Structure 1
């Protein structure tokens, strides 16, 4: 069993919370020395020991017949063993139970479902993983109807947690319960929604504590409305904590980044200053509102929303910078993190990471900062090689050197470094380009004093060339000679300058949802979702932005279901 990884701030928080719990009179849910022997660890210490965590997503939370309904294989003990071997100390186990429950008034959960959930919980505990069990998509399947069906929803919610509490009442305190995932209430204004969530959280607390056994002091986790880190959401949750006055509680929120960056829309294809400020702001609010009150905090899910389609929605270097920064902010705030993985990260059959570089960055962020850079790709024209400049984000590190493969480059000759400004001279780039064939010709690795290296691709490229095309609103692709370049984003405007297509408030369209590059086929695909919101008979000028800085315009005209495209 590995020793817990927790930051200095988390350790201090745990110590203060433990001291407070020892000095204060026993409250409902406090450890009872007469029953349990020595005082049990504080909630802060339990939560800190969970760092880092991983979500078993799209499995028991899947809406369907069983855990394979959303495409993942059945959970094996070998999977959980591998998760622990990869350095995780906890797992979040989302479960959706509404479709497995019988009718009112008992809402009996199918025994086979409960048995299977318990089996996986026990496997995880046996692997020395702390488990956070949460009621998941029930939030939008039925608890969201609470404004119009208050009594029925409360009765089902109560019955659900009564059954879960009874089933797991004697499990160790390394099993935690989370009341409801991303709570939401149809048609309710915020004030009403806050009151309804408070009612659910209080009922959850009452039910679990009344069930006895280890549930008397089990750590219970309460979410904000929508599991959001907005200040009003946090303030409402604090009021619930104050009213419950139970030292064995923790809070949870989710973070998927600044929305335009998270899905790659509205020109948010870079992890720029605005996106970075959003990340820093979320953790600052959580720290100041919850952490400062001694409330332990779990980041129950984090990632990028574009990953729901595929991890290529966000450019590799930009996503690496996001995860490095998020890890730093969480560690500084003393927040335990639980990475959302619905099967797109850890291959649950091969038990290998689909993107080892991404995992390496996240793993490193659990302990320290890594150096990053303004880009992980430089584009060089084969016929006109010039110096390329990359700005390093040292993040408190120093540069140990640059390598190409096993060859260490010579400072002052192969490159120059002035502060954080790295210059790759034309002489080096020319050698690396070789015959100038388009595509990645070499990788320059920048190694820092701590953390993981930063990889810069040297890409041979010329301006892309687009050709005329014809198709339909259901199938339209622009023939594209990428010539080594890579598509970053697309703008769409009518002749009068107004925005065309979905998300009419911005000219920049959403990557993969409305357009997508297919370098293998040599095309840029315009999806039906784009044409569904394009005015018939009005030409649309598309501006394609490439990572090299090149911009190429193209015109499309929809006439009914027919689409024609013209280059230039």
Structure 2
């Protein structure tokens, strides 16, 4: 898009083509289908020039009418070799005289001048004499198309919700404005998870509700009209009923195949920018072991492939996405999918895995509070296996979901700087390994009502990782204890191939030598600067410093005054227990729990370091620490548990709890 004044010609801005074979329609129609090539051959502020070629793939027609709808509110003006009329956003072009007839496999061409405003998105669908002839982008190789999908975004917890409709998990209905926002944020593809089971009728037909299928098609059409690649799948059915396949093989297979036998004709009109994913996170219950599960996943993938390819039309070459068991990147689960894809001899297949990082860090359990070398190696090893097994063999890969497990509760489960380091590294390493990434977003990232990012700093880091590396640091927190005199603090920078350019407090540049020094990757904040920035030293964040670098996004340092948190005795029940905590500027990192004999209570009793938010959580607003019922109900009766709370300042505070029946008592000593 160009918005500068004066004409700026953009040759072949948009050239898209798709073909479709359709059964005979009304008399005079192009009854075997059609192909439309639409190209914006010049564009400047407010105006554009378009050329259209219509190829008739059916019987000869005498008199033709091509219709389409504008997706971005454009308007057509003067035309040549056709007459154009418009009603609202609906456009009709008709031929007359010398080009009124189109022979079988013949082509007519026309052009027009048009106007545009906020966007000039190409039309998605055309109809020739009433026969749909979808226009969805030219067919690319699987590898090139997968690269063109980077980056991608998930419309999570919406059409995949297992309730009665797409709002049942708390998100609003999908709107075109939401998809406009997704496109404007730089995403090139959208994964639309869909759960079908609760919208199917009984056996043997398992008919999908017409209204629900129409709604999914509507959202797909909206996304495609915004020039987004789209992926749809069979989603939470995986654990709702498909996981029962070891015991109910034929029933599960019948229901699964019935879904794709209905979806293939329903979506065949859409061009190659629509992809199908077999199913989400394959899993099985009650199997005889991993070998059986691998075989069942392969069987479902093969059935999916056969159904789609056998349906013909655009589906004959549509890109299909096949998952590993559990969408895991473990080598023993990658290898069977490599073998299957190679055995299918189909160039239009893509492999998919998911990645939520090193589990202790991703969920904040077992003391995994930092994105350290161990956590980073887990991601590096995972992407290396995927690259070496698939990409290096010419099989493209989509990371269909990635993020952090703790985000399913809220993004504060993982400390801000640590999660920024994760997304900076993962985004860049996946890009280096030619893996297309699709951010999992169930509503915790992009607000579906305001269309604003709930954590703009996080999204800035994600977006930056699509193109470059950014510097980070060993920490984003600079704690100074209130009872003590402030001293200089040294922080290690992770330059990641860039260079330091300056340190700022707001827009005010701090002075090198006086306020800070830099020795290689060692940034030292002087005592005098920290004293000045801390001001009256009220508890909490006193100042926010920003380190800027030659490329990538800046890195923030929070200057925090703190003192040892103060806890109080409390009573409650296994259903609700919380105790007063004056955090005094500090922030909770993790909690350690042990019985007097040194063993750990559950959940996850193999580690004393409990899971953040699942077992415990801070409530900074109300000055409380909350212990969750899942933890309390599992405590041994009348056996004291010692809780050690670890704070980001490095401070540790001990607290004791005892359950007696349903009563819980907490004490500081």
Fold match by TM threshold 0.5: yes
Q: Is 2:214 the partner of 1:127?
A: no
Q: How does 1:246-261 map to 2 (within 5 A)?
A: 246-261=346-361
Q: Provide the rounded CA distance (Å) in 2 between the counterparts of 1:106 and 1:499.
A: 51
Q: Is 2:205 the partner of 1:116?
A: no
Task: Give the superposition deviation at 1:566.
Answer: 1.8
CA contact (8 A) 2:138 2:272 kept: no
CA contact (8 A) 1:82 1:351 kept: yes
Task: Give the superposition deviation at 1:39.
Answer: 8.5
Deviations along 1:468-524, one digit per CA (max 9) or x if unpaired, are: 222222222222111100110010111122212321110101111111111111111
Task: Give the superposition deviation at 1:383.
Answer: 3.6
Say which SS state the counterpart of residue 428 (structure 2) adopts: helix
1:519 aligned to which of 612, 617, 620: 620
Q: Provide the rounded CA distance (Å) in 2 between the counterparts of 1:286 and 1:229.
A: 6
2:645 aligned to which of 540, 544, 560: 544
Q: How does 1:112-511 map to 2 (within 5 A)?
A: 112-188=211-287, 189-384=289-484, 385-511=486-612
Say which SS state the counterpart of residue 488 (structure 1) adopts: strand
Of 372-381 and 172-181, deviating more is 372-381
CA contact (8 A) 1:97 1:135 kept: yes
Q: Provide the rounded CA distance (Å) in 1 between the counterparts of 2:165 and 2:577.
A: 37
Deviations along 1:280-329, one digit per CA (max 9) or x if unpaired, are: 11100000100111000000000111111111111111110000010011
Q: Provide the rounded CA distance (Å) in 2 between the counterparts of 1:72 and 1:496.
A: 46
Q: In the alignment, which residue of structure 2 is the partner of 1:18?
A: none
In the TM superposition, structure 1's runs of 4+ consecutive aligned residues that sit over 4 Å from their partners are 34-39
Deviations along 1:361-415, one digit per CA (max 9) or x if unpaired, are: 0000000000011111111123421111211110001001100011101111100
Task: Give the superposition deviation at 1:530.
Answer: 1.3
Say which SS state the counterpart of residue 181 (structure 1) adopts: coil
Q: Provide the rounded CA distance (Å) in 1 between the counterparts of 2:438 and 2:319.
A: 16
CA contact (8 A) 2:206 2:255 kept: yes
Q: Provide the rounded CA distance (Å) in 2 between the counterparts of 1:261 and 1:351.
A: 29
Q: Provide the rounded CA distance (Å) in 2 between the counterparts of 1:269 and 1:326.
A: 17
Q: Is 2:186 the partner of 1:87?
A: yes
* Number of equivalences: 538
Q: In the alignment, which residue of structure 1 is the partner of 2:147?
A: 48
Q: Provide the rounded CA distance (Å) in 2 between the counterparts of 1:149 and 1:287.
A: 35
Task: Give the superposition deviation at 1:340.
Answer: 0.6
Q: Provide the rounded CA distance (Å) in 2 between the counterparts of 1:317 and 1:450.
A: 18
Of 438-447 and 554-563, deviating more is 554-563
Deviations along 1:534-554, one digit per CA (max 9) or x if unpaired, are: 111111111110000001111
Q: Provide the rounded CA distance (Å) in 2 between the counterparts of 1:383 and 1:536.
A: 40
Q: Provide the rounded CA distance (Å) in 2 between the counterparts of 1:116 and 1:144.
A: 26
Gaps of 5+ in 2: 3-55, 58-104, 108-136
Q: Provide the rounded CA distance (Å) in 1 between the counterparts of 2:653 and 2:482.
A: 19
CA contact (8 A) 1:251 1:295 kept: yes
Q: Provide the rounded CA distance (Å) in 2 between the counterparts of 1:54 and 1:306.
A: 18
Q: Provide the rounded CA distance (Å) in 1 between the counterparts of 2:143 and 2:637.
A: 59
TM-score, normalising length: structure 1: 0.93
Q: Provide the rounded CA distance (Å) in 2 between the counterparts of 1:501 and 1:216.
A: 52
Q: Provide the rounded CA distance (Å) in 1 between the counterparts of 2:227 and 2:542.
A: 45
Task: Give the superposition deviation at 1:204.
Answer: 0.5
Say which SS state the counterpart of residue 252 (structure 1) adopts: strand
Q: Provide the rounded CA distance (Å) in 1 between the counterparts of 2:416 and 2:312.
A: 49
Say which SS state the counterpart of residue 95 (structure 1) adopts: coil
- Tell me: higher relative CO, structure 1 or 2? Use CA pairs within 8 A at least 6 residues apart: 1
CA contact (8 A) 1:382 1:433 kept: no
TM-score, normalising length: structure 2: 0.79
Higher helix share: 1
CA contact (8 A) 1:266 1:506 kept: yes
- Structure label with greater radius of gyration: 2
Of 62-71 and 39-48, deviating more is 39-48
